[in-house]
Amino acid sequence: MFQFLKRKREYQAIEPDEILIDAANLPAYDTTRLEGKIERPIAPSTFSIFSVLILLLLIIFSGQLVYLQVVEHDSFIARAEENRLSHSSVIAERGLILDRNGEVFAENIPGETPTSTPKRAYPLGESASVIVGYVSYPKQDHNGYWYQDQTVGVSGIELLLNENLQGKNGIRIAETDAKGNTVSGSIVRNPQAGDDVILTLDAGIQEAFYNAIKTRAQNAGWQGGTGTILDIETGEILAVVSYPSYDPEVMSYGEPKEEVERLLSDSRSPFLDRAVAGLYTPGSVVKPFVAIAALEEAVISPQKSILSTGSISIPNPYDPEKPSVFKDWKAHGWVDMRHALAVSSDVYFYAIGGGYKDQQGLGIAAIEKYMRLFGFATPTGFSIPGEEVGVIPNPEWKAETFDGERWFLGNTYHTAIGQYGFQLTLMQLVRATAALANGGTLVAPVITQAEAEEKKKEKISLPLDQSALEIVREGMRLAVTEGTATALAVPGVRVAGKTGTAEVGVRKEFINSLVIGFFPADAPKYAFAVAMERAKAGTGVGAPAVMGDVLRYLVEHRKEMVDAGQ
C-alpha cells in the first residue's frame, strides 16, 4: 500500500499537445467507440492475481492427475479389464428326483443354446406334482443383470430339498472389442450339478393311484380325493396322491397364462396336498380304534353281542315324550365286535362308546385318550410342509367352539362313530392303520430314502394287548369278505379293511367316503388309506372302489407286494 501511494505522488510528464488541446479543437471522435479516450496501462496487480489463479489450477490438475494415475491405478485397471471382459453365470443343473426303482420324477432338458438355463421336466405330470413340486427359473432384469441366478424350488420335494438339488453355478468370461462384440470366451469355473434325490415312492403305483382317484372322481362327481400306501415296518411311503392337481411344467414356466390363472382360481384347491393338509371327518374308519379302546379298558368282551334294530332311543329329561333317537345306517341284528366292525354297526359303537342300558361305555375321556395314543390330532412328523393337526372333540373343545355349551351323551355317541367335530388327516389315518397291522408300533412316515434310515429310531411302541389287535384285524378281514368293504376283495391279494362315510355340509347334503386297510391280511406288509371328498349324499362309488382299482394294478404289476400270506 505504501508503494502504491508513493507512485501516486510521483511527477508525471505532460506532453505539449496535451497542454494546448481543449474542447473546441477536439477532433470529431466517436465516443461510443471509446475514441478520444486516453489509454491507461494494465495495473501490475492484475497480472499478480491472474498468476495466482493459474498456479491454483495447475496444483488442482496435478493433484487429480496423481490421484488417478497413482492412488486409483489398480482400481481403474480392474475396471478397464471389466469393460473388456464380461462375466456371466453358467446355471447349474439341478439333481434328479428318482423313485425307489430309479424311475424319473424330475429331470433336466437342455436349453435352446449351450449357455441357456436347463429346464425341468416332470414325466409323471400332474400325478405326482403336489408331492414333487415345481421350480422357479433364473431371472434377469431388462439390462441383462441376474436378480435370481439359480433355479429354485417352489413347493414339494423341489422346495424341501432345494439345497441338495440346486448345485453350484459356473462362471463364463467373454472378451469384447470396443464395439461390444464378443471376440473370445471361456468357462473359468464349471458348474456343479446338484445331488440326486431318491424317494421312497414307486412311480408306477403313484401314477396308477392318481388315475384311479381321478377317474372315479370325474365319473361319480367327487370334488377331490387323496390316497397313500405305507410300509408298516419302515414308514416308507410308496404312493401319496392328491386330486385335483396341476401340471408342474406349466407352473415352472408360468405359462400359458390362461392355464395358470385357471389353476389359481380353481375352488377345488389343486395346490393343496390333501394327504397332509386336508382335514376330513373320518366317519366309521375310527371304529377299529374305538374297539381297541373298549377291549383295553375291558368295557366289553369281543364275544358279547349287541342288538341293532336300526336305532337307539335315549330318554329326554326335559321332554319325556320326545326321546333322543340315534340311528344306525341299517338294522344289523345281534353283532359281536368282529361282526360289528364288518358291517359297521353304529348302534354297537354307540353302546361301547357312550354306554347304553346295561352296557358300560368308554366315555369321551377314554375315547380321546386312545385316539391320541394312535396319533390322531398329533403331527406325524412327515417332512412335507403344511401338515395339519386335526380335532378330537371333547367337552373343552365344545365349550370353546360353541360359546360355553356343555357336553351331552349324544356328543359322545357321535364321536365314537367318527362324526361331530372329529377331524383328522389322511397321513394320521394311514399311520394309525399301520400300527393296527404291525402289532402296535407307530412308525414315522418318510418320503426319501435318506430320511428312512434317520427316522428308524422314531418308532413308538404302543402299550396294547396283542390279542385285542388280532380281534380287530379279524373284524377288518370280515369286512372285506362279507361286510362293507367287499370292493377290496380283489383276486390275488388278501386284504383287511374298514370303510367310512361321513356326512358333511350344512344340511348334510354331501358325503366323504373313506377306506383304510392293510395287505396281505395274514402277514401284513403295507397299510393304505383313501379319502374321496364331497359328493352328493347317496353316491355309492367312492374310496373302496378306488382302492380296488389300485389293488388290481398291484396284483398285475407288483406281484411281490401281494404274495405274502397266499
C-alpha pair distances (Å), 213 with each of 95, 131, 433, 541, 556: 30, 16, 20, 11, 18
CB 500 within 8 A of CB 514: yes
Instruction: Determine the Cα–Cα distance for residues 146 and 117; give it in Å rounded to an integer.
Output: 12
DSSP class of residue 24 equals G
Show the domain range for 189.
Answer: 86-198
Q: Are both 155 and 235 inside the same structural domain?
A: no
Q: Which long-range contacts (CB under 8 A, 24 or more apart) does 136-141 make?
A: 136/252, 137/252, 137/253, 138/89, 138/91
C-alpha angle 484-488-490 in degrees, rounded to nearest 5: 140
Q: Are both 215 and 187 inside the same structural domain?
A: no
CATH of the domain at 445: 3.40.710.10
Q: Greatest CA span in the chain, whole angstroms?
A: 158
Helix (H, G, I), strand (E, B) or coil at 216: helix
How many angstroms from the chain centroid is the CA of residue 84? 45
Q: Are both 224 and 239 inside the same structural domain?
A: yes
Q: Which long-range contacts (CB under 8 A, 24 or more apart) does 451-460 make?
A: 451/383, 452/200, 452/234, 452/235, 452/236, 455/235, 455/381, 456/234, 458/381, 459/235
Question: Given this model, what pLDDT does residue 171 score?
Answer: 81
CA atoms within 13 A on the CB side of 292: 30
In a domain, 81, yes or no: no
CATH of the domain at 120: 3.90.1310.10
Q: Are both 487 and 534 inside the same structural domain?
A: yes
DSSP class of residue 420 equals T
Question: Given this model, what pLDDT does residue 522 score?
Answer: 94
Q: Are both 186 and 230 inside the same structural domain?
A: no
Q: Are both 318 and 220 inside the same structural domain?
A: yes
In a domain, 68, yes or no: no
In a domain, 258, yes or no: yes
Q: Which of 152, 175, 198 is at the close of a domain?
A: 198
Number of helical H runs and strand E runs in the chain = 22, 22
State the Rg of the chain over Cα.
42
In a domain, 26, yes or no: no
CB 343 within 8 A of CB 483: yes
Task: For residue 182, list its beta bridge partners.
Answer: 176
Instruction: Determine the Cα–Cα distance for residues 56 and 62; give it in Å rounded to an integer.
Output: 10
Within 10 angstroms of residue 387's Cβ, the number of other Cβ atoms is 18
What lies within 8 Å, CB to CB, of 297 at 6+ separation is 362, 366
Q: Going residue by residue through the chain, which has 566 residues, state the pLDDT in tens, using 9 for 90 and above.
A: 445 445 555 555 666 655 555 555 555 656 566 555 556 666 777 777 878 888 888 888 787 777 767 777 777 666 555 555 566 778 889 999 999 999 999 999 987 665 688 899 999 999 999 999 999 998 877 766 767 888 999 999 999 999 999 989 888 776 665 555 655 556 667 889 999 999 999 999 999 999 999 999 999 999 999 999 999 999 999 999 999 999 999 999 999 999 999 999 999 999 999 999 999 999 999 999 999 999 999 999 999 999 999 999 998 877 888 889 999 999 999 999 999 999 999 999 999 999 999 999 999 999 999 999 999 999 998 999 899 999 999 999 999 999 999 999 999 999 999 999 999 999 999 999 999 999 999 999 999 998 988 887 789 999 999 999 999 999 999 999 999 999 999 999 999 999 999 988 888 899 999 999 999 999 999 999 999 999 999 888 899 999 999 999 999 999 999 985 44
C-alpha angle 406-409-410 in degrees, rounded to nearest 5: 100
Question: Given this model, what pLDDT does residue 269 score?
Answer: 93
Q: Which of 155, 180, 198 is at the close of a domain?
A: 198
Question: Given this model, what pLDDT does residue 16 score?
Answer: 60
Q: Which has the closest alpha carbon to 168: 95, 92, 96?
A: 92
DSSP H stretches of helix in 483-565 = 543-557, 559-562
Classify residue 359 as exposed, middle or buried by CB count within 10 Å of its CB (0-12, 13-18, 19+).
middle
Q: Are both 178 and 272 inside the same structural domain?
A: no
In a domain, 33, yes or no: no
Q: Is the peptide bond before 138 cis (omega within 30 degrees of 0)?
A: no
Q: Which of 182, 198, 214 is at the close of a domain?
A: 198
Instruction: Determine the Cα–Cα distance for residues 173 and 167; give it in Å rounded to an integer.
Output: 20
What's the one-letter identity of residue 177?
A: D
In a domain, 73, yes or no: no
Instruction: Determine the Cα–Cα distance for residues 282 and 530; give it in Å rounded to an integer.
Output: 11
Kindly state the cell numbers that stand for 535. Answer: 359328493
Question: Given this model, what pLDDT does residue 565 score?
Answer: 44
Instruction: Determine the Cα–Cα distance for residues 310 and 347; give it in Å rounded to an integer.
Output: 7
Instruction: Determine the Cα–Cα distance for residues 312 and 397; give it in Å rounded to an integer.
Output: 26
Q: Are both 224 and 242 inside the same structural domain?
A: yes
Question: Given this model, what pLDDT does residue 7 score?
Answer: 52
Q: Are both 174 and 281 inside the same structural domain?
A: no
Kindly state the cell numbers that stand for 326. Answer: 340315534
Q: Are both 177 and 221 inside the same structural domain?
A: no
Q: Which has the closest alpha carbon to 120: 143, 97, 86, 100?
A: 97
CB 279 within 8 A of CB 390: yes
Q: Are both 194 and 225 inside the same structural domain?
A: no
The per-residue b/e assignment along 511-524, b for 16 or more CB within 10 angstroms, e otherwise, is bbbbbbbbbbbeeb
Domain count, the chain: 2
Q: Are both 424 and 496 inside the same structural domain?
A: yes
Instruction: Determine the Cα–Cα distance for residues 477 and 486; give it in Å rounded to an integer.
Output: 10
DSSP class of residue 69 equals I
In a domain, 377, yes or no: yes
Q: Which has the closest alpha carbon to 306: 244, 254, 249, 352?
A: 352
In a domain, 320, yes or no: yes
Instruction: Determine the Cα–Cα distance for residues 307 and 7; give it in Å rounded to an integer.
Output: 142
What's the one-letter identity of residue 521?
A: A
